[in-house]
Chains A and B, each alone.
Chain A
């Protein structure tokens, strides 16, 4: 008989402190040892983790009203502009927005990190003034405690898989994949591979709208499929299925988050980004899901892309798996190229472990998705229409 479990059964076991929880790394050797059937019987939840730069991130802030009140039209936090085209004192501060005084040295992501660290943030707002909101400008300081809400809302995080960046030109280039040395001097990649959430539930069976997740050290939720969501299954020449293109839109209370799992980052010559830690628990509802969570680095392939070509469609230089990438050196067109991850495997492991401990303590219950993601989705380019 094949094992089947419901979310209710798993949550009841978590509450009784009887759930068996392992990380996506630990499950690999357990299944190799016991086989899928026995492991499915024994294991209730597998935890995943990732910790990497995720540019499409930001925070919704409500400042509260001043007296006399202002309908904020233009807003700056530590000289970083936030979007104020919302109600009077609501803004959305994007992680990649640059400081108007410091440029690339400071940005929205730094404001987010400073907010979490309880630092004082300088607020400046301007307005045109209305009968109901007569004030035209305000300068003050805010902190995490002084504001009403700080809601981290990231429209595109947690890429299922991402390509490997190299540079075949004869000069150094500065990209969102880091500094790429000339003549394929290095190769940068950015996924936690076998620990990566969306590679462990590659068909989005348990990950959907409403899934409760570990987000930046707090409990957050998946609110939608991420922007540019276009999961693809590609068969390579050896018959391996390559998954790519899945993304998540996530939300959570920034006030509860920790700088251990959310950090500001600067990519020299490119700009500012936010490093986000995400962990997703995968309920082992049946043996099919168990098979998916046993995915190993050597089974996950990604494409090597030449970032020196400054156009949308960049040339491919072949495919490589995460085991090869993690060994520190790959061979491209006969040349040995040293590799670097942009996402921290040590942190991804820490997040999967922390999520496991939270579930074992009964502090984290699993939420069944209230709606699954669309099965088909197209990623369209922007056409220039005149």
Chain B
């Protein structure tokens, strides 16, 4: 089983196509929608967690790309600027999933992308503006 967080970018012309339904029905994938912001006129983004057999996940993602839906992995959309970050840790208690933490030994910030749900709380909380999301 493979688990992957993916950000799907929908152009306006396919907003009405039931892409998520097909990923579930035709490829047997488990889809957990973490965030969605899609407008009919401008398109938008969908943050999902996909779970399934590796080959099925690959086929599913190939299918959405063919539908002209953009596929990005979470690390590409949540940008943590390590040079700007001072490892203060003000973001860790506001993070609802524990994706952000301070290392017990070095006290440096750790970002576990696997746990991130792109809520954006850390973006608002960071006084150094070291975290940005393109969502």
- Residues of A bordering B, CB below 8 Å: 51-53, 178-179, 181, 185-188, 263, 265-268, 273, 275, 328, 337-347, 349
The residues of A that contact B124 with a CB separation of less than 8 Å are 179, 268
The residues of A that contact B108 with a CB separation of less than 8 Å are 346
Distance in Å: Cβ of A129 to nearest Cβ of chain B = 41
Closest residue on chain B to residue A177 by CB atoms? B90
**Interface residue SS majority, chain B:** loop
Does the CB pair A188–B90 fall under 8 Å?
yes
B36 contacts the other chain (CB 8 A):
no
18 A/B residue pairs, CB under 8 Å, sorted by A: A179-B121, A186-B93, A263-B86, A263-B128, A268-B124, A268-B125, A273-B127, A328-B102, A340-B89, A340-B90, A340-B94, A341-B88, A344-B86, A344-B107, A345-B102, A346-B87, A347-B86, A349-B107
| Other-chain contact of B87, A52, A267, A337, A347 (Cβ < 8 Å) | A347
Distance in Å: Cβ of B53 to nearest Cβ of chain A = 36
Closest residue on chain A to residue B101 by CB atoms? A328
**Interface residue SS majority, chain A:** strand
Query: In the complex where A342-B88, A344-B89, A346-B87 touch, is A267 in contact with B127 (Cβ < 8 A)?
Result: yes
Distance in Å: Cβ of A235 to nearest Cβ of chain B = 30
Does the CB pair A188–B93 fall under 8 Å?
yes
- State A178–B92 Cα separation when bound (angstroms): 12
Distance in Å: Cβ of B124 to nearest Cβ of chain A = 5
- Chain B CB within 10 A, most for which of A53, A187, A265, A343: A265
B42 contacts the other chain (CB 8 A):
no
Distance in Å: Cβ of B97 to nearest Cβ of chain A = 12
Residues of B in contact with A, size category:
20 to 34
Proximity string of chain B (65-87) to chain A, C-beta cutoff 8 Å, 1 when within and 0 when not? 00000000000000000000011
4 additional A-B residue pairs with CB within 8 Å, beyond A263-B86, A328-B93, A340-B92: A185-B93, A273-B127, A345-B102, A346-B87
- Chain A CB within 10 A, most for which of B88, B121, B125: B88
- Chain A CB within 10 A, most for which of B90, B94, B101, B106: B90
| Other-chain contact of A266, B88, B121, B129 (Cβ < 8 Å) | B129
Does the CB pair A341–B89 fall under 8 Å?
yes
- State A328–B125 Cα separation when bound (angstroms): 17
- State A346–B105 Cα separation when bound (angstroms): 10
Closest residue on chain A to residue B123 by CB atoms? A268
Closest residue on chain A to residue B92 by CB atoms? A340
Closest residue on chain B to residue A337 by CB atoms? B93
B91 contacts the other chain (CB 8 A):
yes
Within 8 A of A (CB), among B11-26: none
The residues of A that contact B101 with a CB separation of less than 8 Å are 328
Closest residue on chain B to residue A261 by CB atoms? B86
Does the CB pair A341–B90 fall under 8 Å?
yes
Proximity string of chain B (92-134) to chain A, C-beta cutoff 8 Å, 1 when within and 0 when not? 1110000001100011100000000000010011011100000
Distance in Å: Cβ of B125 to nearest Cβ of chain A = 5
Distance in Å: Cβ of A202 to nearest Cβ of chain B = 23
| Other-chain contact of A265, B107, B121, B127 (Cβ < 8 Å) | B127
- State A268–B124 Cα separation when bound (angstroms): 6
The residues of A that contact B127 with a CB separation of less than 8 Å are 53, 178, 265-267, 273, 275, 342
Does the CB pair B129–A342 fall under 8 Å?
no
- State A339–B87 Cα separation when bound (angstroms): 14
Closest residue on chain B to residue A269 by CB atoms? B124
List 10 A-B pairs, minimum CB-CB distance, nearest first: A265-B127, A340-B93, A186-B93, A338-B93, A346-B87, A344-B88, A345-B107, A346-B107, A344-B86, A340-B90
